[in-house]
Amino acid sequence: MYVLIINLKIMKQWYKFAEGKHWKNIVAKTYSLDIKTLNIQGNEINLYGNGSLFSNSPYITDGGVFKFEKPLSKDDFKDINKPILIKTRDKINISENFNHILIKDYFTYLLDLSGGEDFVWNKKVKSKTRNQVRKGEKLNYTVKTGKAELLDDFYKVISTAWRDLGTPTHSKDFYRNIVEGFTEDSLYKAEFIIMYLDHKPVSAACLIYDDHAIHHPYAATLKEYNKYSLNNALYWNIIKFAIGKKIPFFDLGRSREDQGTAIYKISWGAEPVQLYYYYFNKTHHKNDEDGKLIHFLINMWKKLPLALANFMGPKLIYKVLK
C-alpha cells in the first residue's frame, strides 16, 4: 500500500502524453476523426469523434489527471450531443443534474523502478517470473532500439501476433507517426524495441516515455515463441531500458482485475491503480468484451490471411477509441 500511495502522489504530476498536442497531431495525421478541443475550467481537452462517440486519449487506455475547480455540468459539453467518454486516473466531481455512467472495471499497473535493477529483480519480480526471464535468455536473442529504421520489423511482429490473437492492428503509418511525432520540443519520446532470433524479429514493443514513466501501449511476441517465455524477456529488457534512462516507473497498462493479464503484471511487482471511465450523454452502458459476438469475431479474425487482416484492420480499429 505504501508504494501505491507514492505512485499516486507522483502520478498526479504526470503530463499524460495522449492528452497533448503531439498525440493529437499523430492521430489527425493517421485517421479521419472529428476532433474537438474544449477548454473546461482551464483544462484543454481534445475529444475525438468516430460518429457515435467522442473520447479523450484515443487508442490509449487512460487519460491524464484533470483539475476541475467546480463540478462538471452539461454546459461544459454543450456543443456535443453525442455520448462522451472521459478516461482519467482521478475521480471527477459532477453536477447532480448531469446524467453520467461511471465504469470502474479497469486498472492500470505501475511498477516502481526507482530502486534500480538489482532491487527490482530481487525484491519486486516474483521468482517464477524471474525463471521465465532466464528461460528466454537461454536463446541468446539480440535487442535493438530505434525509430523508423525498425518500423518494418516492428510491424511484422505486431501485425502477425495481433492477427493470431484475433485483434485488428493499426496501420503501419500510425506507428511511424508515433515514433516521428514526438519531436524535440515534446516532453515525451518514442521508439521501438525489437528482439531478434537468428536475425528474425520475434518480439517487439512501441515505447513512449518521459522522465517520470515509460509506457508500452503496443507490444507483442510471435505465438510460436511463447513457449520460450520471450514475452518475459521483452518486459525485462524494457525495464532495463527504463532504468538506464533513470525513469522511475513502468506503466504496464490496463487490465480488469479478473483477467490473466492482471495476474501477470502483478507477478512483476506492479501495483494496481484505479481507472475511471465516465460516460456522459448516456443512460446505460453495456461492456460487451466478453459477449458471444465478440468471441465469434475474434475467432474469425484469427483465420484471416495476414495481408487481408493488415488491410482491413486499420479500417476497423480506428473507430475503437476506448
Is there a domain that residue 313 lies in?
no
Check whether residue 248 and residue 131 sit in a common domain.
yes
Residue 112 above 70 pLDDT? yes
Residue 309 pLDDT level (bands cut at 50, 70, 90): very high
Check whether residue 214 and residue 130 sit in a common domain.
yes
Residue 27 pLDDT level (bands cut at 50, 70, 90): very high
**Among 67-71, 108-112, 250-254, which is the least confidently predicted range?**
67-71
Residue 82 pLDDT level (bands cut at 50, 70, 90): very high
Is there a domain that residue 296 lies in?
no
Is there a domain that residue 311 lies in?
no
Closest to 62 measured CA to CA, from 89, 91, 98:
89
**Whole-angstrom distance, CA of residue 191 vs CA of residue 146:** 5
Residue 203 above 80 pLDDT? yes
Check whether residue 127 and residue 244 sit in a common domain.
yes
| Domain count across the chain | 2
Q: Give me the mean pLDDT over the 237-262 stretch.
A: 95
Residue 232 above 90 pLDDT? yes
pLDDT at position 173: 97
pTM: 0.92
The three-point CA angle 110-114-119 to 5° equals: 100
Residue 117 above 80 pLDDT? yes
Residue 6 above 50 pLDDT? no
Q: Give me the mean pLDDT over the 108-116 stretch.
A: 96
Check whether residue 66 and residue 86 sit in a common domain.
yes
pLDDT at position 15: 56
pLDDT at position 286: 77
pLDDT, one tens digit per residue, over 88-99 is 998 999 998 888
**Whole-angstrom distance, CA of residue 114 vs CA of residue 116:** 5
Check whether residue 217 and residue 282 sit in a common domain.
no
pLDDT at position 2: 41
C-alpha cell at 116: 534500480
**Whole-angstrom distance, CA of residue 145 vs CA of residue 207:** 10
Check whether residue 251 and residue 118 sit in a common domain.
yes
Closest to 84 measured CA to CA, from 321, 254, 287:
321
Check whether residue 266 and residue 117 sit in a common domain.
yes
**Whole-angstrom distance, CA of residue 145 vs CA of residue 160:** 20
Is there a domain that residue 118 lies in?
yes
Q: Give me the mean pLDDT over the 248-257 stretch.
A: 94
Percent of the chain with pLDDT strictly greater than 90: 78
Residue 189 pLDDT level (bands cut at 50, 70, 90): very high
Q: What is the CATH number of the domain that holds 216?
A: 3.40.630.30
Is there a domain that residue 98 lies in?
yes
Q: What is the mean pLDDT of the chain?
A: 92
Check whether residue 97 and residue 50 sit in a common domain.
yes
pLDDT at position 63: 83
Sorted by sequence, the CB contacts under 8 Å of residue 302 that are 6+ apart come out as 163, 164, 165, 166
Is there a domain that residue 86 lies in?
yes
Check whether residue 133 and residue 123 sit in a common domain.
yes
pLDDT at position 42: 87
Percent of the chain with pLDDT strictly greater than 70: 95
Residue 3 above 90 pLDDT? no
Residue 279 above 70 pLDDT? yes
Q: Give me the mean pLDDT over the 211-225 stretch.
A: 96
Check whether residue 125 and residue 74 sit in a common domain.
no
Check whether residue 89 and residue 126 sit in a common domain.
no
Check whether residue 84 and residue 9 sit in a common domain.
yes
Residue 182 above 90 pLDDT? yes
pLDDT at position 14: 54
pLDDT at position 66: 86
**Whole-angstrom distance, CA of residue 179 vs CA of residue 146:** 9
Q: Give me the mean pLDDT over the 269-277 stretch.
A: 95
Is there a domain that residue 212 lies in?
yes
Residue range of the domain that includes 31: 2-107+275-288
**Whole-angstrom distance, CA of residue 245 vs CA of residue 108:** 22
Is there a domain that residue 317 lies in?
no
Residue 11 pLDDT level (bands cut at 50, 70, 90): low
